[in-house]
Structure formats: structure tokens, C-alpha cells
Chains A and B, each alone.
Chain A
Amino acid sequence: AQSVAQPEDQVNVAEGNPLTVKCTYSVSGNPYLFWYVQYPNRGLQFLLKYITGDNLVKGSYGFEAEFNKSQTSFHLKKPSALVSDSALYFCAVRDEESNYQLIWGAGTKLIIKP
């Protein structure tokens, strides 16, 4: 069965430092991977996606993610964190067997301290 794991409930980073939010997945076909961000009392906003091609994907607000097929991972990264990056981050995956349904991770709370 398809699944997404975000192993860290919370990640704490000092402002200006690089950040990584981890995501691993399990699907039977080729994965289509997504990252979304959720601010308090708001819906989810799309950050970036991997469909095919270059393993390093660049997205909104300076975020990027690296697809690693051998490790079945799609970690979200940013070279220099901002306090305004503090939010809840969700990884999601769909594959050819679930063409209409995204499978979501439980989310990682990112806290950037000044």
C-alpha cells in the first residue's frame, strides 16, 4: 500500500541556518511527489513537485527538494531559513495506481528561531 512518512514531528532551526524536512515514501509505481505548506488557520499552499527529470526540484519561497529513488526520499531543503518559514509542512505522493488521490504524510512543524 502507498504511504508517506515524515519521521520528525518538529524541526527547530536557527534563522539563517540551512533547514531540511524529511520525507520518505512507499509506492508500487513511479512516484509523483509534492510538498505543501500550511500556516495557522489556513489551507495548504503548494511549494513544489517532482514528476520526472532532474532530481533537484526548485519551488516557491527559495525551497527545493531532492528526489532520491534508491532511498525513496524527497527531503525539503532551504539554504538559509527565515522566521517566516515557520509553519506546518506536508509531503504527499501519488502514483499510477492512485491517479486521483494524494497520500499525505502527517506533517512536520518547522520552527525557525531568531
Chain B
Amino acid sequence: ETGVTQSPTHLIKTRGQQVTLRCSSQSGHNTVSWYQQALGQGPQFIFQYYREEENGRGNFPPRFSGLQFPNYSSELNVNALELDDSALYLCASRNAASSYNSPLHFGNGTRLTVT
């Protein structure tokens, strides 16, 4: 089975711009979640999608939005970028049907730098 892949690996944007990060989930995984990991900190939950609908959200403003597609891919969109948005963005997937507590499978992340 293929793993979780994220693109791009690195990205530099200017404050106020918009960015789209992409994730290809592991085959058969119907649940994808996105995390923000600032330097030296643990991951912070942004939101989760299940069968193309958002079914959970952390403490992030509406300018953080997402999409999940039928082919197991997903996107994280961030509008009006701020300097504090600089972080590693992680995508993680799992098959919610296999087990209530099946582990998350993470991609290697996208390092976003906002200048």
C-alpha cells in the first residue's frame, strides 16, 4: 500500500498571500486530518474530513479551509497569510471503518515560511 504524500515539501510565501497545500492519503483511508506544527512544539489539530465533509475542527480561524476528494486526496487552503502561519503542516490519514482507534499515518509535511 502507498503511504501519505504531501506537496510541496517547502514553500515560501509573503504575508497576505494565499496558499494551497496538497496531500495524497493512503489508499483506502477515508479520514484525513491536517495539523500545524510550529518549531519546537507538538502538532495542533486544524480540522478533519471524513468522506469529503469536515467533521471536526480545532481552534483555527476560517481563513484555514480544506477539501477532501473521492480519490483520497485533500487540500489545505490558507488565506491572508500571517507571519505566525510559518510552520510544518502535516497531513494524516486513517481508515475510520477499520478501528475506532486506528493509528494515523502521517506524510512528511510541507514546511511553509511566511515573510
Contacts and interface: CB of A to CB of B under 8 A. Distances in A.
A3 B47 CA distance: 18
A50 to B, nearest CB: 9
Interface residues of B, number: 26
B107 A107 contact: no
A49 B103 contact: yes
A53 to B, nearest CB: 12
Contacts of B42: 90, 92, 104-107
A102 B104 contact: yes
Contact of B58 (A45, A51, A101, A106): A101
Interface in A42-81: 42-46, 49, 51
Task: Place the interface of chain A in its size category.
Answer: 20 to 34
Given A90-B43, A100-B48, A100-B56, A44 B101 contact: no
A101 B41 contact: no
A25 interface: no
A107 B41 contact: yes
Interface string B69-109: 00000000000000000000010100000001101111111
Interface of A: 32, 34, 36, 41-46, 49, 51, 90, 92, 94, 99-102, 104-107
8 contacts: A43-B4, A43-B92, A44-B43, A46-B103, A100-B56, A101-B56, A102-B43, A104-B43
